[in-house]
Amino acid sequence: MNAASRPDPVLRLASASPRRRELLASIGVTVEVAPSDIDESRLDGESPEHFVSRLARHKAEAGQAGSALPTLGADTVVVCDDTIFGKPEDEAHAREMLMTLSGREHRVLSAVTVLGPLGMVESRVSTRVVMRRIDEAEAAAYWTTGEPLDKAGGYAIQGLASIFVEHLEGSYSAVVGLPLAETAALLRAQGVSLWGGALPDVGSSGGAS
């Protein structure tokens, strides 16, 4: 498809994440990408739940500037023993995080905020993930693939690290970066068309109520 025939964006995405863009495209939502630059430091005593929701909210607010489109901000973190695992700083950090998650259960928190005609609507999802035991050689080999570089927790469930995941309870797409069922509900509430406009709008015949 050439540039002239691409559909107009129906949403501003306040994120540079290619995974979020791909997830939105999978439900027929064309976006205008406007990465937000905010302070992502955790506040003293802040819970992981409050932290991830606050960042999603601030990203949406920062990304909305100058646009009439509804704006989506999102954040995803890996939490183990109340410790937030962000993106790895280097190889040692990535291997340390993966070995900490090895053979254990952790949570992935994913928060979404959409600013639009209704003001601010938001949702947060917690997904339980259980990793099998991972040995040091596997962790080292995984780093050489380049996949862990920009991933929360240092792994990509949709990629090569899928072989490490023993069990998942909750939203798979949230672990990738965006809980699609919850996001779709927020978008429809703000009047954003899904499935490229093929899905009836909220309140119309056959639509959600």
Asked about 75 being catalytic, the answer comes back as yes
Question: For the chain, how are helix, strand and coil distributed in percent, rounded to 5?
Answer: 35, 25, 40
> Residue 33: CB partners within 8 Å, gap ≥ 6?
12, 13, 15, 16, 21
Provide the sign of the torsion angle of the four alpha carbons 55, 61, 65, 68, taken in this order: positive
User: Per the residue annotation, which of 75, 82, 90, 150 is the catalytic one?
Assistant: 75
Task: Report the alpha-carbon distance of residue 145 to residue 129 in Å, rounded.
Answer: 22
Rounded CA-CA distance 163/48 in Å is 27
Residues 124/52, Cβ–Cβ less than 8 Å: yes
Q: Cα 178 vs. chain centroid, distance in angstroms?
A: 3
Q: Go through the chain and tell me how many residues it has.
A: 209
Contact 13, 84 (CB under 8 A): no
Interior/surface letters 1-20, b for 16+ CB within 10 angstroms, e for the rest: eeeeeeeeebbbbbbebebb
Q: Which residues are tagged catalytic?
A: 75
